[in-house]
Amino acid sequence: MGLYTVILSPRPACARLHEPEAVQNSARNIGKAESPFCLSSPAPSLSTLTRVPLHTATARQGRDVWNFTEPFMMIQRRTTRQVKVGNVAIGGGAPVSVQTMTKTDTRNVEATLAQLHELAAAGADIVRLACPDEKAAEAFRPIMREAPLPIIADIHFDYRLALAVLDAGVDGIRLNPGNLARTDKLPEIVARCRERNVSIRVGVNNGSLSRRLRKLVFAGEMATHVAMAESALEHIRMIEDLDYGEIKISLKASDVDTTVRAYRELAPRCDYPFHVGLTEAGTVRTGTIKSSIAIGMLAHEGLCDTIRVSLTGDSREEVFVGHRILQFVGLRDAGPNLISCPSCGRVEIALERAAYAVEERLRAYSTENISVSVMGCVVNGPGEGQIADFGIAGGRGQGVIYRLGKVLKKCREEEMVDELFAAIDDWIAAGRPREEVDPEVYEQVLNARPGFEEARTEEV
């Protein structure tokens, strides 16, 4: 959590700079970036650098501390037109939304509605439903009557399915005009969309390229990511030729590099909002890692307008991961941020058990934008306890509960989690009073042990 660390990206491999001299050199050279997507803000001058107040441990080491002011750190999002899916705006500066897809059989209306309510409770903004046949299309009518959030229908091949779900009142459709069996029916679909300004997502996957583009790729005459961008443009032109512009685009591959390159390739060539994700990313563990890298990179470059994390698993996990990606790149307030140390030989409490217990209980505080630290020793515990809104620092079977660096209470290890949440609940009950970090308290915390030695002899 370095107040004195500045991270710049003048090249694809980021440079981590700690000294003012290095920062000055980087500021001079930053405009010479090899990749146009490394930085989404203009090159800063030295006037955009500010000193951090010298009450930190770094100052005691005789070093100045530098940081960038907020305007440089803000992500500059790509300028796009805006479309809507129900009441959710996408692009045009709207907040980046989180989508997912139901895993139920759409034809089972009761099960699908139950899952939709679960996903709404989990924080999904938009949900897409498969529509494989006429029976599934018919199910959209009762589903739309009770859906708690905007619904997109996933349409392939059969134009009649598109017309049926549009009649049922869906808020958006995913449709690639080129893969319709009857492309001559596209004008009818677009006309129906126009009646209610229903947006169309042109969804390109690297496995669904046209025969012409596949031949070029296999012959080595065109890179896959370029072919994906060209495929999207082909589909877009078919809709534009009908004078309709309520379009958003996705360009998904199952690997990070191709996906990122595809969005970068298309970004300067149109102004339609981007639906970003990695297709067929994998199970929860590997899929989360791959999706976080791809979506995180594109989000930081300002190329995300709505996202979907595709995981082989519970759709609620997709929503959770999506929100956290946006939270950690600074694009969305998405609830609590848990800080916990990885554990090592210094730890003298059941740290992993405590961290997981805190994480699980924080799910009930999903609307609280607070940071909570769970630390297992005296090395990092006090400092993180100062930085976090609330925190635990544990040692030798004891725990200390912190609030912005101030010790609220000492307790036994088995009481730590309950006492932590009692402190959070008291803060909420008091109206969430705003408090600032006291530099003097921080200095004392950095120079002091949290009282585990004393706690051994005290009655706690």
pLDDT tens, residue by residue, 82-126: 999 999 999 999 999 999 999 999 999 999 999 999 999 999 999
| The amino acid at 444 | Q
Lowest mean pLDDT among 56-65, 69-78, 198-207, 407-416: 56-65
In the numeric block, which tokens belong to residue 414?
């088995």
Task: Find, among 291, 403, 303, 421, the residue nearest to 354 by Cα.
Answer: 421
CA distances from 406 to 338, 369, 381 (A): 19, 19, 12
Lowest-confidence pick of 192-201, 372-381, 395-404, 424-433: 372-381
pTM above 0.85, yes or no: no
Residue 176 confidence class, pLDDT cut points 50, 70, 90:
confident
Separation CA 123–CA 78 (nearest Å): 25
- Per-residue pLDDT reduced to its tens digit, 239-297: 999 999 999 999 999 999 999 999 999 999 999 999 999 998 889 999 999 999 999 99
Percent of the chain past pLDDT 70, that is, above it, reads 77
How high is the pLDDT of residue 184?
A: 94
Half-sphere exposure of 41 (CA within 13 A, CB side): 16
Which residue is listed with tokens 């030695």? Answer: 453
Confidence band of 194 (pLDDT split at 50, 70, 90): very high
Residue with tokens 């004008």: 187
- Polymer length of the chain: 460
The two structure tokens encoding residue 342: 């990885």
Cα 72-73-77 angle, rounded to 5 deg: 90
Res. 453: pLDDT tops 90: no
Q: 150-182 as b/e, with b when 16 or more CB fall inside 10 Å? A: bbbbbbbebbbbbbbbbebbbbbbbbbbbebee
Pairing assessment for the beta strands 83-85 and 66-68 based on DSSP bridges: unpaired
Closest C-alpha to 372, from 411, 335, 330, 331: 335
Considering the segment(s) 83-328 as one domain, its CATH architecture is Alpha-Beta Barrel (3.20)
Q: What's the rounded Cα separation, in Å, for the pair 249 and 266?
A: 10
Q: How confident is the model at residue 397 (pLDDT cuts 50, 70, 90)?
A: confident
Nearest Cα neighbor of 84 from 164, 196, 217 is: 196
206: left (phi over 0), alpha (psi -120 to 50) or beta: alpha
User: What is the average pLDDT across 163-189?
Assistant: 94
What is the reported pLDDT for 440? Answer: 65
The mean pLDDT value of the chain amounts to: 81
Q: Is the pLDDT of residue 70 over 70?
A: no
Structure confidence at residue 348 (pLDDT):
84
pLDDT of residue 10 exceeding 60: no
Is the predicted pLDDT of residue 37 greater than 80, yes or no? no
49 backbone dihedrals φ, ψ, rounded to 5°: -100, 140
Q: Which residues of the chain are in CATH 3.30.413.10 domains?
A: 337-457
Q: Which two tokens stand for residue 71?
A: 């305007």
Tokens 């790509």 belong to residue:
78
Burial class (CB in 10 A: 0-12, 13-18, 19+), 123: middle
Backbone phi and psi for residue 173, each to the nearest 5 degrees, phi listed first: -130, 145
Compute how many other C-beta atoms are within 10 angstroms of the C-beta atom of residue 432: 11
pLDDT band for position 332 (cuts 50, 70, 90): confident
pLDDT value at position 384? 60
From the list 200, 144, 133, the residue with the least C-alpha distance to 167 is: 144
Cα separation, 339 vs 362, in Å, equals: 12
Mean pLDDT throughout 345-360? 91
Homologous superfamily of 337-457 in CATH? Sulfite Reductase Hemoprotein, domain 1 (3.30.413.10)
| CATH code 3.20.20.20 region(s) in the chain | 83-328
